[in-house]
Structure 1
Amino acid sequence: MQVLSMLKSRKISPEQLFMLSVLAVNGGNYLYNLILGRVLGPAQFADAAVLITFLLVLSFVAMTFQLVTAKFSVIFENETFANFVAKIYKHATIVGLGFGALIIIFAKQLQIVFNTSSSSMFTIFGIGVPLYFLMSVNRGVFQGKKEFKFLSITYQAEMLSRLVITLGLIFLFNMQSSVVIAIGILISFGFGLIPFKFKNLKFKNILAIDATQSKQVRSFFIITAFYELTQIIINNSDILLVKHYFDSYDAGLYASLALIGRIVYFIAWMFVMLLLPTVVQLKKEGKATAPILFKYVGYIAGIATVIVIGCALFPKTAITILFGDSYLAMAPLLWKYALATGLFAISNIFAYYYLSLDRYIPVVISGVFGMLQMGLVIFFHDSLEQVVHMQIIAMSLLLVIQISFFVFDSKLKQ
């Protein structure tokens, strides 16, 4: 009773509420993927994995708009902020329509490149792309203003709607195709717009912001877009390359491995979401920013260590519980993939930290090693094990270089 009264008396901060929400969203997305893996089997799950990977790629592209919006929602105020948000909504809509049109136009070619059973799934996905860009700007406003309650709701609405609609169609109508998954993703984008601040959305009579501020926004946008491109390469190129080089069965097995191994990265993402506005605010106030970096690096390193050890000790148990016996061939590689992802997650914190401070060398470093990872997989893919080993090599080097840069940069400031 005493413990309960203590819990009731303690207020949960908005940041803690958001962290709990992100854990719930990641859990829901994991459940979504796990059920698809079990219901569809390795061969059909390979098609689903391509769509899920396209969704992740889209999220990284749209994240450029979200991070830019988040940062300048902290810096800009009043009328400048209103004009900035209206302008970025306009650009996000144009880019979203462009990307969506390209996916629809080249749907047949995408089917051939990724060896999928249908081109319709790409067409349906493309229709929803503009909605995702609007959703990302909306989230950027919430993130920058630290309105974590609303930010939590939009993530929850997207995840829950996709989970319920997709699985409902599969189980109620016994429809087990990639088109069903695409429909679920499309509808979830609409739900992800909840809650939406319509007052910020206007395409006419947008006043220009100051030339210096506009240059600042443009510079940050370009470097963020470049960094998100490196994120796409590092996070998703392996799955798409495996789908290209290997048969559907092996690609499905690898997709299950990637899903389990990436747990640490998805957990790390909630810290990144909190890191950017916090570092920008501390810099604005003239306070030290390094302690918040150490704090989050410590959290991610600890979580990554636990997950890698767990995957090394109980690989068969983890795969059997999550995906079933059909995927057991991947058990020996599980801890290795988790290690590669853990190394990347820690490196990612350093890159986003410097991105928040308008320091771009670590971003360029990530880009170089993202290309290195992709190049290694292209040239060395005799087996799935070799693909994983190439990622460990690339991500180990990336982390060493990022830490070395931080140490060198810190000594220069002394």
Structure 2
Amino acid sequence: METLRVLQKRLSPEQVFMLSVIVVNGGNYLYNLLLGRILGPEAFAEAALLITLLLVLSFLGMTFQLTAAKFAVIFSGEKWQAFKNNTLRLSLLFGISVGILMLVFSKQLQQIFHTESNLMFVVFAFGVPLYFFMSLNRGIYQGRQEFKSLSVTYQTEMWSRLLITLAILFILPWQPGVLVAIGILVSFFFGLYPSEIKSLKIDKTLKLEKYDQNRMVKFMVLTACYELTQIIINNSDILLVKHFFEAKPAGLYASLALIGRVVYFAAWMFVMLLLPTVVKNHKEGKPTAPVLFKYVAYIGALALMIVAVCYLFPDFVVNIMFGSEYLEVSHLLWKYALATSLFALSNIFAYYFLSLDQYVPVILSGLLGMSQIGLIVLYHDSLNTVIIMQIMAMSILLLVQILYFLKKEVLKTKISNQ
């Protein structure tokens, strides 16, 4: 404990948050790896489906988190309180609506994804409103740059999901998919600590002015559109493989995806730090491009290292993480890591543009996200082909983002020289 206190004194809040994200990502990976080993490829395919749904939910929740993070920097006083009231109402309305839709269509989801039961979707649906409230809470901490409190909310959610899920898998004789869904649901309650519940009230007397209301809604809608493209790009491959392939190859692909996405999950740490910093610099008239360059360099170096390890030691990585049952897809690991690395880099550019209220990349990402789905639907004769289609789509996306950035910088330079 003394060591932890000394570390907290020596490290900045940003460094504490970065270390916390590394621990959370490690814990989430341990969670996935243990599920893969305990359940085996066929049963793991259902667990991976729920994990994918959790990722989908996290992207939707990020709409509220990023909106709160952005306007926590811009608003203050009664305007800030009115903003919190508005977003609380919206998050509850949206969360309850999505939860009800999942409940109503649980049987259809069972048929689409060939699961043993629809009960796993029913359990998951009850956690959706909680998740949106949790995301709003995290956005407030992120925008105010209270990174220690933000770190704790991620830690409590991750550790509770890991420990509770493993415990009930060994104790309760129910279907694995249902037990994993219960673990996810309970973890949302733990993720609400610490929270800003006392400062969040549904008070209709406090309202934003029309200009600020329109500004908030515009950012929220466009962020939601971009998060939708993130859902499409980041999760459509797993869902489509689950639909087009048998249970075993679907489970093998899910293990491949979880290993290959390590660079993408690491990139989220930098997105969390990038957005409030860029908004603050822009507000104060300081340069924002150096912030982008710094985080692109971090992600680029990390991506290069991970792809190299996956290329040189694929059997070792797959065997140590999931076991010998999954070795038949090890030769595909570096290709999947390359696809997610390209996506992670383009993602840094996209959130940079969103921070500056530049929304053209949202449209571009949407178009390329839909093209990825189209390519996989047309070409899915093997898992290798599915991955090649993603590499093609993500290469084009990153190239377009870079060209857009260069165009903006050239235009900015011309204006400043006039």
The interval holding the TM-score normalised by the smaller chain is: over 0.9
Q: What one-letter code is carried by the residue in structure 1 that aligns with 2:254?
A: A
- Tell me the residue number matched to 1:148: 147
1:170-189 correspondence runs (5 A): 170-173=169-172, 177-189=176-188
Contact 1:86 1:200 in 2 (8 A): no
**Aligned-pair CA distance for 1:413:** 1.1
1:38-77 correspondence runs (5 A): 38-77=37-76
Structure 1 SS opposite 2:158: helix
- Tell me the residue number matched to 2:325: 326
Contact 1:253 1:327 in 2 (8 A): yes
1:344-359 correspondence runs (5 A): 344-359=343-358
- Tell me the residue number matched to 2:387: 388
- What is the aligned-residue identity percentage? 58
2:108 is the alignment partner of 1:109? yes
Structure 2 SS opposite 1:195: coil
**Aligned-pair CA distance for 1:367:** 1.1
- Tell me the residue number matched to 2:299: 300
Deviations 1:339-358 (A, max 9, x none): 00000000000000010000
Contact 2:81 2:206 in 1 (8 A): no
1:272-311 correspondence runs (5 A): 272-311=271-310
What is the alpha-carbon distance in structure 2 between the residues aligned to residue 148 and residue 216 of structure 1? 26
Deviations 1:172-225 (A, max 9, x none): 446561110000000000001001112222123341111111111011011100
Structure 2 SS opposite 1:202: coil
What is the alpha-carbon distance in structure 2 between the residues aligned to residue 22 and residue 363 of structure 1? 26
- Tell me the residue number matched to 2:244: 245
Contact 2:319 2:327 in 1 (8 A): yes
What is the alpha-carbon distance in structure 1 between the residues aligned to residue 98 and residue 69 of structure 2? 22
- Tell me the residue number matched to 1:89: 88
Contact 2:252 2:329 in 1 (8 A): yes
What is the alpha-carbon distance in structure 1 between the residues aligned to residue 74 and residue 85 of structure 2? 16
**Aligned-pair CA distance for 1:26:** 0.5
What is the alpha-carbon distance in structure 1 between the residues aligned to residue 217 and residue 325 of structure 2? 49
Contact 1:49 1:255 in 2 (8 A): yes
Contact 2:8 2:16 in 1 (8 A): no
1:181-200 correspondence runs (5 A): 181-200=180-199
What is the alpha-carbon distance in structure 2 between the residues aligned to residue 394 and residue 173 of structure 1? 43
- Tell me the residue number matched to 1:411: 410
2:259 is the alignment partner of 1:260? yes
What is the alpha-carbon distance in structure 2 between the residues aligned to residue 298 and residue 172 of structure 1? 46
Contact 1:169 1:175 in 2 (8 A): no
Contact 1:308 1:338 in 2 (8 A): yes
Q: What one-letter code is carried by the residue in structure 1 that aligns with 2:240?
A: L
Q: What one-letter code is carried by the residue in structure 2 that aligns with 1:320?
A: N
What is the alpha-carbon distance in structure 2 between the residues aligned to residue 129 and residue 222 of structure 1? 19
Structure 2 SS opposite 1:128: helix
Q: What one-letter code is carried by the residue in structure 2 that aligns with 1:114?
A: F
Q: What one-letter code is carried by the residue in structure 1 that aligns with 2:98?
A: F
Give the 4+ runs in structure 1 shifted more than 6 A. 7-10
Contact 2:350 2:362 in 1 (8 A): yes
- Tell me the residue number matched to 2:158: 159
Q: CA RMSD in A?
A: 1.3
Structure 2 SS opposite 1:193: coil
Q: TM-score, normalised by structure 1?
A: 0.97
What is the alpha-carbon distance in structure 2 between the residues aligned to residue 206 and residue 263 of structure 1? 46
Contact 1:87 1:206 in 2 (8 A): no
What is the alpha-carbon distance in structure 1 between the residues aligned to residue 178 and residue 95 of structure 2? 21
Contact 1:155 1:192 in 2 (8 A): yes
Q: TM-score, normalised by structure 2?
A: 0.96
- Tell me the residue number matched to 1:130: 129
Q: What one-letter code is carried by the residue in structure 1 that aligns with 2:38?
A: V
What is the alpha-carbon distance in structure 1 between the residues aligned to residue 151 and residue 196 of structure 2? 15
1:307-318 correspondence runs (5 A): 307-318=306-317
Structure 1 SS opposite 2:286: coil
**Aligned-pair CA distance for 1:87:** 1.2
- Tell me the residue number matched to 1:374: 373
Q: What one-letter code is carried by the residue in structure 2 that aligns with 1:62?
A: G
Runs (5+) with no aligned partner, structure 1: none
What is the alpha-carbon distance in structure 2 between the residues aligned to residue 236 and residue 216 of structure 1? 30
What is the alpha-carbon distance in structure 2 between the residues aligned to residue 217 and residue 205 of structure 1? 17
Structure 1 SS opposite 2:10: coil
Structure 2 SS opposite 1:203: coil
Q: What one-letter code is carried by the residue in structure 1 that aligns with 2:222?
A: I
Structure 2 SS opposite 1:364: helix
Which stretch of structure 1 is more off in the superposition, 400-409 or 349-358? 400-409
Q: What one-letter code is carried by the residue in structure 1 that aligns with 2:255?
A: S
Distance 1:383 1:9, change over 3 A: closer
Contact 1:37 1:45 in 2 (8 A): yes
Count residues in correspondence.
Answer: 409
Contact 1:275 1:292 in 2 (8 A): yes
Deviations 1:290-330 (A, max 9, x none): 00000000000000000000000000000000000000011
Distance 1:364 1:249, change over 3 A: same
Q: What one-letter code is carried by the residue in structure 2 that aligns with 1:48?
A: A
Q: What one-letter code is carried by the residue in structure 1 that aligns with 2:105?
A: F
- Tell me the residue number matched to 1:402: 401
Q: What one-letter code is carried by the residue in structure 1 that aligns with 2:266?
A: I
